[in-house]
Amino acid sequence: MVQTQATDPIIKIVGLSKQYRLGQKIKYDTLAEKLSRIIKKSAPGQDTAKSSKIIDALKDFNLEIHPGEVLGIIGFNGSGKSTLLKVISRITPPTSGEIYIRGRVSSLLDIGLGFHPDLTGRENIYLNGAILGMQRQEIKEKFDDIVNFADIHKFLDTPVKHYSHGMYVRLAFAIAAHLESDILLIDEVLAVGDYEFQRKCLDKINAITKSQRTVLFVSHNLAAIENLCQRTIVIHKGIKAFDGKTTEALDYYYSLHKRQTFTENLLSPEVVRSGSGMVKFSKIQILDEQMKPKSEIKTEDDFIIKLDLDVQQPIKNPRIAITVKNKLGQTLFQLYSKDSQYDFGSIEKNTSILCHVKNIPLLSGNYYLNLWVADKSDVHDLVEKAFDLVIIPKEQNTKYQLHLGNVFIEHYWKLKNT
């Protein structure tokens, strides 16, 4: 391991920018071709129309990371998260700016990169390990741990082209995760494999973060970010929009989501949806028991969720679901019309559906609702993040203030007399 002072950053990024030209293919050309291209760019009368095709993946990016830090990196798709890790790992060069790195870097970016399909699992462990910077003796020492983690004992001497997708990603992750390095870059490894594999990956990443190695962790799994990272940055449109405590970063990220996704008109073309479109959600409202609109709901309140439907074609026996999720994207519970055994019959024209909610158990905070409507054969509309549900504490009641989690369950305690 590299020796550094605690106050010295292990990674320092200054004025980093990365641009891509849309439609441009990467090629390795000669020095003469590079000089020719430079001369053409500097020649008078050069056509500047192509400049409109340039996109800024990262813009004037500054960042310092200290030894032993576990840094979370979050942002919308296309915000520049993966680009940042690829520049740090030297997979792609920056357009401008400087990156200073102290120590050895390993990456979990493109799982399986460097595997040869005709080589066996055993051979690919040595090949892929060498590509990731492991010495042969180091691979030998880690070999059994890699095989045990990947759970490919029976297929160790089988060419990987015959592996299932699950076996392939398990082996690739196992190799990269067992490389001893000063800095580990991780990009969305929890998005592949089945639940058991993802849990195993998360346990391994958790062990790595406790070993005082520096970790940069990109993920859409906000619960994992919250669990693993004390500091998190939010990248938005190539810019570092927030840098601070993870809890505050998640709040900032949620506020960006809220501004970009929640809308009163669910028929707006900006709303991302899926389904046949025969029936669509057009509006959602929260009402009290007197059918008056409410902007906030208190813990243990009764209220009504009103869903307006835009009916393009009649459907029979619709099923409707409202899924309640927290800011981390975790499902808390679902309100499903089939559970109440209510028969809507045939819906032939625009109408409204009412869902009566009793004694809502949610603690104070922001939540969001996903909407779903289907019949026995087809899903007609699915809208994610359709509504921002705000819960506030019950008046003059402090029993919820120190309660952890999202849900309050009524309960009581007593001392058993002996």
Nearest to 175 by CA among 194, 188, 189: 189
387 forms bridges with which residues in the sheet? 369
Residue 119 pLDDT > 70: yes
Run of H or E residues at 187: strand 183-187
Question: Which residues are registered as beta bridge partners of 316?
Answer: 346
Count CB neighbours of 69 within 10 A: 20
Written as six digits, the tokens of 224 are 């994992």
CB-based contacts of 380, cutoff 8 Å, min separation 6: 275, 276, 277, 278, 279, 280, 315, 318, 373, 374
Please write down the HEC assignment for all residues of 10-50. Answer: CEEEEEEEEEEECCCCCCCCCHHHHHHHHHHHHCCCCCCHH
The pLDDT-based confidence of 5 (bands split at 50, 70, 90) is: very low
Distance CA 392, CA 290 (A): 20
Other Cβ atoms less than 10 A from the Cβ of 384: the count is 17
Q: Helices 165-177 and 195-209 meet at what angle, rounded to 10? A: 0
Domains (range + CATH), the chain: 11-29+52-258 (3.40.50.300), 273-392 (2.70.50.60)
| Strand 315-316 with 346-347, pairing | antiparallel
Cα 350 from chain centre = 36
pLDDT of residue 395: 66
- Report pLDDT digits (tens) over 230-274: 999 999 999 999 999 999 999 999 888 877 677 778 998 888 899
| pLDDT at res. 1 | 41
Task: Give φ, ψ of 136 to 5 degrees.
Answer: -60, -40
Beta bridge partners of 233: 73, 243
Distance of CA 353 to the CA centre of its chain: 33
Average pLDDT, the chain: 84
DSSP string covering 311-346, please? ESS-EES-EEEEEEE-TT--EEEEEEGGGGT----E
Residue with tokens 């669509």: 280
Higher per-residue pLDDT: 133 or 384: 384
**What would the pLDDT profile of 189-199 be if each residue is shown by its tens digit?**
666 666 777 78
Tokens 């605690």 identify what position?
6
Cα–Cα dist 186/202, whole Å: 11
> How far apart are the C-alpha atoms of 235 and 331, rounded to whole Å?
25
Q: Is the dihedral of CA 82, 110, 152, 105 positive or negative?
A: negative
pLDDT by residue (tens digit) across 343-357? 888 999 999 999 999
The per-residue b/e assignment along 266-292, b for 16 or more CB within 10 angstroms, e otherwise, is: beeeebebebbebbbbbbbbbeeeeee
Is residue 136 predicted with pLDDT exceeding 90? no
Q: Which of 196, 201, 155, 327 lies closest to 258, judged by CA?
A: 327
- Per-residue pLDDT tens for 141-177? 989 999 998 888 999 999 999 988 778 878 888 887 8
